[in-house]
Amino acid sequence: MKFLQNIPPYLFFTGKGGVGKTSISCATAIRLAEQGKRVLLVSTDPASNVGQVFGQTIGNTIVSVAAVPGLCALEIDPQAAAQQYRERIVNPVKGLLPDDVVSSINEQLSGACTTEIAAFDEFTGVLTDADLLTRFESIIFDTAPTGHTIRLLQLPGAWSRFIDSNPDGASCLGPMAGLEKQREQYAQAVAALSDPERTRLVLVARLQKSTLLEVARTHEELAAIGLKNQYLVINGVLPETETETDALAVAIWQREQEALAHLPAGLSALPTDTLFLQPVNMVGVSALKGLLTPGSAAAMLPETTTPDKTDNLSLSELVDDIARSEHGLIMLMGKGGVGKTTMAAAIAVRLADMGFDVHLTTSDPAAHLSTTLNGSLNHLQVSKINPHDETERYRQHVLATKGRDLDEAGKRLLEEDLRSPCTEEIAVFQAFSRVIREAGKRFVVMDTAPTGHTLLLLDATGAYHREIARKMGDNGHFTTPMMQLQDPERTKVLLVTHAETTPVLEAANLQADLERAGIHPWGWIINNSFAIADTRSPLLCQRARQELPQIEAVKRQHADRIALVPVLASEPAGIEKLRALTV
């Protein structure tokens, strides 16, 4: 494996959600530990599942992995980091300021931006901790999905610029002095990330057009901010031996080989490794060891028939149930890479074909709605909540309203405040709120960002609701975006997953988080299922059998209603192919 040769102390795995970053980072950690190295595995993903992979609790402190001598792990918990951050800011003023002022500060620090910067403080703390490099020879980072990671890696420069231009002010994160103390740490983090002697970045991809385009963009964006020591790992490749007797396997193999032959510009020049599709789920040390072993995909059971088809709703039946409401918000949530964009587009196309007025939108920075649709349709409007555009719109609105009557000095101060990275959070939340309001008159189908980022957005929604409720008290009627999300008559949340251990566990955890916020998911979609596909490939049949316990767990423990969507011979891009999903 090229990416494992002469590795520097820091090894990053990044890429679109669902491509196998966690599996490969865990397998790499095991490989290095078995070579006698002292290894630390760090997850920076808000929806981390490293603990699930190893079958033990990891958490926000460094712990030894029981099954792998020499390996320790750490999951950076954004919520725990945010709570510690709030305490550092609020505790010193308790008793010095009135209780209502302290409560207001707490509320201001409850938003998603505080959570993100607090988690980033933890991340840069690991990256710049010299003591860790004396304890560990290799530190491996399993990062969050691409859009979140890009933002994470760009924050050092963004905050340094904001501190430079606003040294005496205050942001939604509290006194600037708190950030000033981090300036040196951020500078050290940027230096470490940009140094090829210290850091190697491994881009993980699948042989799918949308995934490869996203990885190509990640490659360019990371190179532009100085992270140029990059490798490419293509995961989950179907072996050619599976094509001998199976039409579906032939179609999948041909599709993958075509994508491999036409890699986007920039990727083809990177040192590249390919890993075969595995017959088992990547949970447990033995399964993970097989991932990096050449030819390991051949070790499978001999069954050449798929199990009996399970009895579930089709996607078309699910959409027919949705259509009875005649309008409302349909939110698709779940782990990155499970097909939320495709499912959202297919649902929107069917509702539009039924004559309903439909707005299809996305809050995912890495989504490709236009590529997925590849056309236009009557009754269907398509949009994207673009963080950059929404931030600029918000800045101009604030300058035109709050800044209208300010003198030049006041305007300069306002412009400086609007350069805070927190401005983006406010702007995206306002765009999200506008979309929600439309659902009172028509169907709004929203393709959300991968799980962790979506929870940050919902956190902002909840903070806004609590602030409005505090101000209004019992004196008036009001409806907040959170109240609409909690109303099953107005909002239907669909969790999208694959029938694999990790995505199902993550979707179940997301459902629990939503339940605590008073939001009950309306249904689940299990996408790309081999269990209902027509195949005789031994490898694909074994994958199908691996799915059955997960499908049964969703039916018995989690979902009020469930739809299964099979693996298709060709990628469902374009309106006609999307229609075929809901026939």
SS (H, E, C) 117-169: HHHHHHHHHHHCCHHHHHHCCEEEEECCCHHHHHHHHHHHHHHHHHHHHCCCC
Confirm whether 522 is domain-assigned.
yes
Confirm whether 408 is domain-assigned.
no
Burial (Cβ within 10 Å: 0-12, 13-18, ≥19) of residue 469? middle
Q: Let me know: does 54 contact 26? Beta carbons within 8 Å.
A: yes
Q: Which residue ranges of the chain lie beneath pLDDT 50?
A: 145, 147, 167-178, 297-301, 450-453, 472, 477-478
Q: Residue 240 has what pLDDT?
A: 92
186, 239: one domain: yes
The phi and psi torsions of 390 (rounded to 5 degrees) equal -65, -35
Count of domains in the chain? 2
285, 324: one domain: no
> How is residue 563 written in tokens?
């739809």
The phi and psi torsions of 409 (rounded to 5 degrees) equal -65, -40
Q: Residue 525 has what pLDDT?
A: 97
Q: Residue 168 has what pLDDT?
A: 45
243, 319: one domain: no
Q: Residue 176 has what pLDDT?
A: 41
240, 158: one domain: yes
Q: Residue 170 has what pLDDT?
A: 42
Q: Residue 363 has what pLDDT?
A: 72
Residues in contact with 536: Cβ distance below 8 Å, sequence separation at least 6, in sequence order: 245, 246, 304, 305, 306
120, 15: one domain: yes
Q: Residue 173 has what pLDDT?
A: 43
Confirm whether 398 is domain-assigned.
no
Residues forming beta bridges with residue 359, ordered by sequence position: 381, 444
Which of the listed residues 260, 292, 324 is the one where a domain comes to its end?
Answer: 292
Which of the listed residues 238, 261, 292 is the one where a domain comes to its end?
Answer: 292
Q: Residue 108 has what pLDDT?
A: 64
Maximum alpha-carbon separation in the chain? 78
Q: Which residues are catalytic?
A: 18, 20-23, 45, 502
> How is residue 310 written in tokens?
């399970």
Q: What Rg value do the Cα atoms of the chain yield, rounded?
A: 24
Confirm whether 26 is domain-assigned.
yes
Using CA atoms, how far apart are residues 261 and 254, in angstroms rounded to an integer? 11
Q: Residue 73 has what pLDDT?
A: 94
Q: What CATH number is attached to the domain comprising 356?
A: 3.40.50.300
Helix locations, 327-386, DSSP H: 340-353, 369-373
In 3D space, the residue among 528, 20, 49, 445 whose CA is nearest the CA of residue 248 turns out to be 528
Look up the domain containing 567 and give its range: 315-390+443-472+479-581
Q: Residue 451 has what pLDDT?
A: 47
**Residue 489: what residue type?**
E
Q: Residue 305 has what pLDDT?
A: 60
Q: Residue 300 has what pLDDT?
A: 47
Residues in contact with 432: Cβ distance below 8 Å, sequence separation at least 6, in sequence order: 363, 385, 457, 461, 481
